[in-house]
Amino acid sequence: MKEAVVDKTVSVIIRDVDIPNPKPGQVLIRVVDWKCPKRQPDNVMNQGDDIAGYVEAVGTGVQNFREGDKVAAMHELGSPHGSYAEYAIAWEYTTYHLTEKTSFEEAATIPLAAMTAALGLYQQLKLPLPWSPADKPTPLVVYGGATAVGAFAIKFAQLSNIHPIIAVAGKGASFVETLISREKGDTIVDYREGDDAVHAGIRTASKEIHIHHAYDAVSERGSYETLGAALDKPGKITVVLRTEVDKVPEQISILQTAIPSVHMPPAEGQALGDKEFGAALFQFIGQGLNQGWFSGHPYEVRKGGLGGLEGALKDLEAGKASAVKYVIKIAETEGFQQ
pLDDT at 330: 87
| pLDDT band of 284, cuts 50, 70, 90 | very high
Residue, of 292 and 258, whose pLDDT is higher: 292
In whole angstroms, how far apart are CA 312 and each of 11, 169, 317, 319, 324?
11, 23, 9, 11, 12
pLDDT at 222: 87
**Confidence check: pLDDT of 338 > 70:** no
**Confidence check: pLDDT of 12 > 70:** yes
Ordered by start, the domain boundaries in the chain are 2-109+296-332, 113-257
Evaluate whether 161 touches 232 at the Cβ level (below 8 Å). Answer: no
Is the peptide bond prior to 234 cis by the omega test (within 30 degrees of 0)?
yes
| pLDDT band of 331, cuts 50, 70, 90 | confident
Answer left, alpha or beta for residue 219, where phi above 0 means left and psi between -120 and 50 means alpha. left
**Confidence check: pLDDT of 38 > 70:** no
**Confidence check: pLDDT of 268 > 60:** no
| Digit-coded pLDDT (tens) for 87-118 | 999 999 999 999 988 999 999 999 999 999 99
| Digit-coded pLDDT (tens) for 272-282 | 688 889 899 99
| Mean pLDDT, residues 34-63 | 79
Domain 2-109+296-332, second-level architecture? Alpha-Beta Complex (3.90)
pLDDT at 336: 73
Evaluate whether 234 touches 253 at the Cβ level (below 8 Å). Answer: yes
Q: Comparing C-alpha atoms, which of 36, 31, 120, 38 is closest to residue 72?
A: 31
Q: At 77, phi and psi to the nearest 5?
A: -60, 135
pLDDT at 176: 97
| Mean pLDDT, residues 173-194 | 96
Q: How much is the mean pLDDT over the chain?
A: 90
pLDDT at 40: 44
| pLDDT band of 283, cuts 50, 70, 90 | very high
| Digit-coded pLDDT (tens) for 301-328 | 999 998 988 899 888 888 888 888 999 8
* pTM assigned to the model: 0.91
Domain 113-257 has CATH 3.40.50.720: yes
| Mean pLDDT, residues 251-271 | 76
pLDDT at 39: 47
| pLDDT band of 42, cuts 50, 70, 90 | low
| Digit-coded pLDDT (tens) for 17-37 | 899 999 999 999 999 987 765
pLDDT at 16: 87
| Mean pLDDT, residues 148-174 | 97
Q: Of 62-76, 127-141, 299-313, where does mean pLDDT reach its minimum?
A: 299-313
Give the list of residues 6+ apart from residue 182 with CB closer than 8 angstroms, or none: none
pLDDT at 263: 78
**Confidence check: pLDDT of 269 > 80:** no
pLDDT at 262: 80
